Each structure stands twice: as C-alpha cells, then as structure tokens.
Amino acid sequence: MGWFWGDNKSDPVKKLDPGLREFLEQETPDKYVPAPDLKQPSPTPAPAHSPDSQEADESSKPNVPAASLYQDGRYADLWKTYKPPSNIDSTSGVRAAERVIEKNKEYGDTVQRAAMENCALEHEALTFCFKTGNWKKQIEARLTMCSAENATFSRCYQTQSKFLQALGYAASFEDDAEKEERIQMHADTLYHQMLDYEKKVKEAKEAGVEPPPLTSLFNPEKPSHIEGVAGTQVEIPGGEAVPPGFKPSKPLIKLTPHERELEIRSHNAHLEQQKLFAEEATPFMKNQADARTKRQEKAVSWFGETIGKWVS
C-alpha cells in the first residue's frame, strides 16, 4: 500500500514553495540537545568559628531585651527606651498612688482594732452584763441595755482611738511593729491617767477641798492655755491653742480639760497625716498632670483650642 501513503523516507516539504519552506525552517525551534552530565562539586565544610569571631558576631548584633519577641535584633531602636517593670521604683508612679490609697483605707481599721484591744476589759464587762446574773438581772440588763457598761465601753473606745491618732499610731508608711506597740501602750496609759485625774477631782469636790493641779497629758511641763469660746473662758492643758477651722465632737465647754487637749491634738495629727499622704502621692499626681498637659497641647495643635481642650 505504498502507493496510498507514499514513501515514508521522502521529504514531505520538498514540494512546497521555496519561500514558504524557508519561512518554516526559520520558525522551527532548535533541536533539544541534552547537557553533558556534570558532577556537582561536594560542598566545602565551613570553617569553624573561633571564640574571637563568635564574640565579634555577637557584639555586632543589636541588643534587645528579653521581652522582645524578635531576638535577632529587629525593632531594636524601639526598645532603646524600654524599662522593665522590675526597674520601676515601687514608691513612684501608679504604685505610689495605690500605696497611699491602700494605706488610707487600712488606717481607720488599724486604729479601731488597736482601740478595741485597749478596751478589752470594758468590752468584756459589757458582754457579761447581758449574759451573767439571775433572770432578774438579765431582764434589767435588757431593759436598760446595760447603759452604765455601755457608756464606759463607748467612751473608752472613742477616747482611745483619739489618743492613738494623736500619738501617730499607724500613720507612717514604714512598718515597725515594736514602735506601734509602744504607741498603743502609751495611749492606754494616757487614757487611764485621764480617768485617774477625773476621779481625784470628783473626790476633791465631794470632800470640799481643792482639786489637784491640772497638767497636760502630752506636755506636763507646759502651763495651761485659757481660750475664750462663746463668751466663756475654757482651760486647755499644754498650751494648745484652738486651730482655725477646728470642729470638736462636742462644744469645748462640755468637754473636760484633758478631752479638749486631746481633741486638738488628734485634729492636728489628722492634718499632718493627710499632708504626709499628699506628699507621698505628689510625684504620681505631677506625672498625671504633665501627661495631661502634653495630650492637651497635641490636641490643641490638631483640632484647635476649643475642641482640643475638650477632647483631652
């Protein structure tokens, strides 16, 4: 069947137009010639770094703190001013403010707890008044609410609290258990000295004799001070003058001389304590004010004075 398919060895394009044949030869891609089999050279082992070269490489890397997620040196310029929380002083910034707030909250509870300890006997007598005795005594106690024992305990508790405050109990930011215990014991001593003097004055009046001389509980060497209050002169031991804006728990005329001195002392100690707390929190308040001023300046430069002050 060669006549039908023709000779396979004949050139199929020899009968084409010469111009067309030349065009096809130019457009035909080159035959693929496989590249010679060249053996890849074995990799040369890298020379071991000497200790000096390792130190040089490490010194060339920028230092970043451990808090950075990229220890390869990225964003090292952003970490230059970074300070870890452990390096921040505990008495500055937010921690100082938190310390002052916490101390202020604990102060009242601490003073009240110490006053309750100093009045343990008075509180025990009040408790026994309700629970001891026959049924008549218990009914009487419930009807009168143990008024005598209750008055004794209430005065002890309130007066001891003022003595503790006047002596600076729990006012310091530094913990000193021995100092606080001495103050607590001294407050209890002064309270019973006041009671002893009142008892002697009462006994002197009943006997119709002169009462013992009045001396200050805090400064026995200083003479008393006469203060005019509501048209009446009152005696205040220790030369204590009535401070401006002073508001006692009762009118001075209704207080005993030692109670007047104690009221003024506790008032002045309270002012000193508030001043100490304010000084402790001043750095934080100043930083807050400076930060707000900077934010306000930026906002004013962006939005104008009216809107800038409002948004900041």
Which residues are 227's β-sheet partners?
234
Token look-up 């002045």 returns 268
Task: Determine if the pTM surpasses 0.85.
Answer: no
Which residues are 234's β-sheet partners?
227
pLDDT tens digits for 185-234? 999 999 999 999 999 999 999 999 999 999 999 999 998 888 877 677 88
HEC secondary structure over 169-199: CCCCCCCCHHHHHHHHHHHHHHHHHHHHHHH
The pLDDT of 14-25, averaged and rounded, is 64
How high is the pLDDT of residue 190? 97
d(CA 147, CA 130): 11
d(CA 259, CA 244): 18
In percent, the amount of the chain with pLDDT more than 90 equals: 31
Choose from 1-15, 69-83, 217-231, 243-257 the range with maximum mean pLDDT. 243-257
As to burial, measured by CB atoms within 10 angstroms (0-12 exposed, 13-18 middle, 19+ buried), residue 22 is exposed
Coil, strand or helix: which one is 61?
Answer: coil
pLDDT tens digits for 99-131? 667 777 788 889 999 999 999 999 999 888 877
Type of residue numbered 93: G
